[in-house]
Amino acid sequence: MEHTRKHSRKRDAILDCMRSTTCHPSAEWVYQQLKPVFPDISLGTVYRNLAMFKANGTIQSIGVVGGLERYDAEVAPHAHFICTCCGSVTDLPLAALEPTVLEEAGRLAHGTVSSYQLQFTGCCARCSEEKSQ
Ligand SMILES: [Zn+2]
Ligand SMILES: [Zn+2]
């Protein structure tokens, strides 16, 4: 019993951590945040829980950036800007795609489209500034 309670406390903490940031963290980042609070937490535990949250739609994966899978607690479709220099990921408040675009995508895929990801890559303001110095 004690074991399960401890287990779900970590699970809750992982989800809280995900929801308290907009940095689109990797499992490693979440692990570093929680390590001081749960000294016995393992990176594997963080990975397993993130995979579970992803599977049940609580969070989404936005793909691999710089070799690490990155996660987002915001699951509604929205656009991302990924800096290929420093790996930062930010949300872009772009308007959602027209439903006709999704219909067209479904037609081309010969299936039904239920979600999409829109990602832009480039160099963020901070990295551009550092480069020009
Ligand atoms: Zn950058
Ligand atoms: Zn996002």
Cβ neighbours for 51, distance < 8 A, ≥ 6 positions apart: none
Domain at 76-133, CATH class: alpha beta
The CA 2 to ligand 2 mean position distance, Å, reads 35
What are the tens digits of pLDDT across the range 74-126?
A: 998 889 999 999 999 999 988 888 889 999 999 999 999 888 889 999 999 99
Per-residue model confidence (pLDDT) at position 50: 98
Cα 72 to averaged position of ligand 2 atoms, centre (Å): 5
The CA distance from 133 to 119, in Å, is 28
Q: 24 C-alpha to center of ligand 2: Å? A: 6
| pTM listed for this prediction | 0.83
Residue 2 has pLDDT above 60, yes or no: no
Q: How confident is the model at residue 132 (pLDDT cuts 50, 70, 90)?
A: confident
CATH number of 1-74: 1.10.10.10
- Note the pLDDT tens digit of each residue in 26-85: 999 999 999 999 999 999 999 999 999 999 999 999 999 989 999 999 998 889 999 999
How far away, in angstroms, is 23 Cα from ligand 2 center? 8
Q: Which ligand is nearest to the CA of 90?
A: 2
Distance 77 CA to ligand 2 centre (A): 8
Instruction: Report CA(80)–ligand 2 centroid distance (Å).
Output: 6
Q: What are the domain boundaries of the chain?
A: 1-74, 76-133
Residue 12's contacts (CB-CB under 8 Å, 6 or more residues apart) are: none
Closest CA to 102 of 93, 113, 91: 113
**Distance of CA 112 from the midpoint of ligand 2 (Å):** 23
